[in-house]
Amino acid sequence: MLSQRLEQKLLQKLSPQQILLMKLLQVPVIALEQRIKQEIEENPALEEVSEDTWEQTDTNEDPPEENKDVDNEEFDITDYIEEDDVPAYKYETNNQRSDFDNKEIPIASEESFLESLNKQLSELYLDEKQRKLAEHIIGSLDDAGYLSRDLSAVVNDLAFMQNIETSESELLKILKMIQELDPPGIGARDLRECLILQLKRKSPRTESVFTAITLLDKYFEEFSHKHYDKIIKKGIINEIQLKGAIDEILKLNPKPGNSLSISDKTTQYIVPDFIITNDDGKLELSLTSRNIPDLKINKIYSDMMETYSDNTLKKNYEQQKTLMFIKQKLDSAKWFIDALQQRQHTLYSTMNAIMEYQKEYFTEGDETLLKPMILKDIAEIVKLDISTISRVVNSKYVQTHFGTFLLKTFFSESLQTDKGEEVSTREVKKILSDCVKAEDKNRPVTDEQLADILKKKGYNIARRTVAKYREILGIPVARLRKEL
């Protein structure tokens, strides 16, 4: 049943300028470069500043108000051509530090994983069918160099995809040939076979190598779970032989495919958004703007506005559309430049607040000096919303004199010691990590023992919390850390 009623609502709407700023805040510097290039391609009123025309400036001008439809708004053309209003250089932005030396990173051209195997395959004496089978098997290998599909499935693939009839025994014969290629271990169907293939190609064949092959062949399950006592009790391998065999196995590569250059994958580089330098205890912060172009308003579009300024209301429909198009592009360019300037200011003020809050840590580089810090703490300092701080720290990196770190890792909850002092959970994780590194690998400490160690240091933490922190740090349980 239809009905009418009056309803009053309070809604919050973001302007296009605010939405643009929010989007620019959350992208890291390496993605910002692509975003600027995209904007330059889409907006002809925006262009890069050449080095000889750049004039450094600072501005706190507010961006122009939101543009509306031409049919519902009349605009003053002098807003775009009066020199005394907002000078053109005010809408230029410099994204480079004055002392920045822009250097290109050379990328080496290397042979890919598949190219290397196919090159070796061409040197084998194979007939046409065998070569097609071998090429199909090589193409079925995963990035680690394993054949993860069953041979029966590969037989079906060849029948349906290439109309080639074969059998598992014929494929196995071809697979054995592929397993003789380099690097050793290629074409294995599981980790056990991969390690045995590498051991069989070891030269010279020492007693430890033979023992390692026996260990993997007969006791792989016990070995993978580090049940060394069970292996020794079998009476075939003593403790000294077991230790020698394990030393040989640890030298092997569990992912032989990764030992070859895989050009198909894009190499990922971390470009820090912030750089903190320590000058005799004095911290200095700077923003990184590598390869980000400097922007300005295109003078041709500014001149076009002046050309269309006379007798605007007497222009025909097509001229009005042209004028509106120019106005929209100029507005968009000004908003984008202003958003970039606001982004730089927001990023700098936020990172500066973090640096001052964690001054002892950034000065010394000692994780135990890291204070408990949440987004709300920084938001209150810089007078911004928590969501804005979250966007700033998202996917951003900071380079310091002791390493490069993801910004959000500096944020942590607090724990209270026996003395009532609040410490960061990262401090506790650092102590846990140090305890594991210093442990006797013959008798690694358990989670319960780690909890006791922390309690003696004044951190009252339950065993299950220790287990959670250990898993976060990627540290396996005590049994899997055991060594002979």
SS (H, E, C) 289-339: CCCCCCEEECHHHHHHHHHCCCCHHHCCHHHHHHHHHHHHHHHHHHHHHHH
Cα–Cα distance between 307 and 301 in angstroms, integer?
10
Domain presence at residue 264: no
Q: At what angle do helices 16-26 and 386-393 cross, to 10 degrees?
A: 40
| Residues 295 and 371 reside in one and the same domain | yes
CATH number of residue 420's parent domain: 1.10.10.60
Tokens linked to 200: 């069989």
- Give the CA distances from residue 389 to residues 258, 339, 376, 385, 386, in Å, rounded to whole numbers and listed in that order: 38, 16, 8, 7, 5
205 within some domain: yes
Q: Give the number of domains in the chain.
A: 3
> Which class for 61: exposed (0-12), middle (13-18), buried (19 or more C-beta within 10 A)?
exposed
Same domain, yes or no, for 138 and 237?
Answer: yes
State the residue range of the domain holding 170: 113-259
Report CA Rg, the chain: 32
Burial readout 130-152 (b: 16 or more C-beta within 10 A, e: otherwise):
bbbbbbbbbeebeebbbbeeebe
- Do strands 414-416 and 422-424 pair parallel, antiparallel, or not at all (unpaired)? antiparallel
Which residues on neighbouring strands pair with residue 286, listed in sequence order? 275
pLDDT at 69: 42
Within-domain flag for 397: no
Q: Of 275, 334, 346, 285, nearest to 25 (Cα)?
A: 346
Flag whether 157 is in a domain. Answer: yes
- Report yes or no on 407 lying in a domain: no
Q: Is residue 23 part of a domain?
A: yes
CA distance 472 to 47: 46
The confidence score (pLDDT) of residue 422 equals 67
Q: Are residues 249 and 310 in the same domain?
A: no
* Structure token pair of residue 441: 């690998």
| pLDDT of the residue at 175 | 94
Query: Which domain-ending residue is among 259, 293, 320?
Result: 259
List, for the chain, all residue ranges whose pLDDT scores fall below the cut of 70.
1, 10-14, 50-111, 259-268, 289-291, 306, 308-315, 416-422, 484
Do 164 and 36 share a structural domain?
Answer: no
CA distance 250 to 399: 34
Check whether residue 117 and residue 43 sit in a common domain.
no
Answer for the pair 96, 292: CB distance below 8 angstroms, yes or no: yes
- Check whether residue 121 and residue 249 sit in a common domain: yes
Task: Looking at the structure, tell me whether residues 82 and 126 fall in a common domain.
Answer: no
Are residue 85 and residue 155 in the same domain, yes or no? no
Residues 301 and 419 in one domain: no
**In this structure, are 88 and 204 located in the same domain?**
no
pLDDT at 194: 94
Residues 117 and 216 in one domain: yes
User: Are 378 and 418 part of one and the same domain?
Assistant: no
In a domain, 7, yes or no: no
